[in-house]
Amino acid sequence: MYPYLLAASLVANFADSLFGPLYAVYVQNIGGDILDVGSTIALYSIATGLLIILVGKFADRLSKELLTTIGFALGALGTLCYLVIDTPLELYVLQILFAVSTALLSAPLTALFAKNIDEKKAGLLWALEGGGNKMLSGFGLLIGTFVTYRFGFATVFIIIFLFQVCAAMLQGRVYMLTFQKKISD
């Protein structure tokens, strides 16, 4: 399971980083200003924090594999929404969708990593997850900036969406393997 979890996490974080430094420019392109940039990020952060606690309360009674698969899929759907947003108000609503996505991923994904990590290699395996995400975020920031500069926001959003779909499919594989194991036990 660990390789699928790691791959899904790395792919999704790489995808997210493609848009990182360009958010403020995007907000301006849809008629927003610095207040909208800060307010939408604040809304996302506050909503995410509240929802992580709420999801965490119920995550032990639900399939973490399914919750995280849905979380990755919602992230992909949210990215497609960037293609049709015309106003800052719509962006505020979209941040709630991203908050739900992140909340479904946060505690359940960490719990899945902890459950599936080989204790004899825990240091290395956690380092691969943490270090891999940092490195891929750096590459994603560079690549996303170049792609947006050269081809525009629509292209980068489609690329992000495709990577996020890959992450959802990898996580879906974790769900299916877990489901099959439960049936055979």
Q: Chain centroid to CA 15: how far?
A: 8
Domain residue limits, the chain: 2-176
**Is 90 exceeded by the pLDDT of residue 10?**
yes
Predicted confidence (pLDDT) per residue in 159-177, tens digit: 999 999 999 999 999 999 9
Q: Which residue has the higher pLDDT, 164 or 116?
A: 164
180: pLDDT strictly greater than 90:
no
Query: What does the pLDDT read at residue 182?
Result: 82
**pLDDT tens for each residue of 128-146:** 999 999 999 999 999 999 9
Query: What's the CA gap between 120 and 111, in Å, rounded?
Result: 18
* Spatial distance between the Cα atoms of 159 and 139, rounded to a whole number of angstroms: 14
Give 67-95 pLDDT, tens digit per residue. Answer: 999 999 999 999 999 999 999 999 999 99
pLDDT at res. 176: 92
> Is the pLDDT confidence value at 185 over 80?
no
What are the distances in angstroms from CA 152 to CA 25, 45, 59? 11, 27, 38
Backbone angles phi, psi at 152, to 5 degrees: 100, 170
pLDDT at 136: 96
> Does residue 17 surpass a pLDDT of 80?
yes
Rounded (10°) angle between helices 2-17 and 122-151: 30
Mean pLDDT, range 9-20, rounded to an integer: 93
pLDDT of residue 105: 95
For residue 179, the model assigns a pLDDT of 86
Q: Contact, 146 vs 42, CB < 8 A?
A: no
Report whether pLDDT(1) > 90: no
Burial 149-183 (b: 16+ CB within 10 A, else e): eeeebeebbbbbbebbbbbbbbbbbbbeebeeeee
Sequence-separated (6 or more) residues with CB below 8 Å from residue 95:
40, 41, 43, 44, 47
Cβ–Cβ under 8 Å, residues 71 and 107:
no
**Residue 158: per-residue pLDDT:** 97
Q: How high is the pLDDT of residue 21? A: 78
Domain 2-176: give its CATH architecture.
Answer: Up-down Bundle (1.20)
Mean pLDDT estimate for the chain:
94
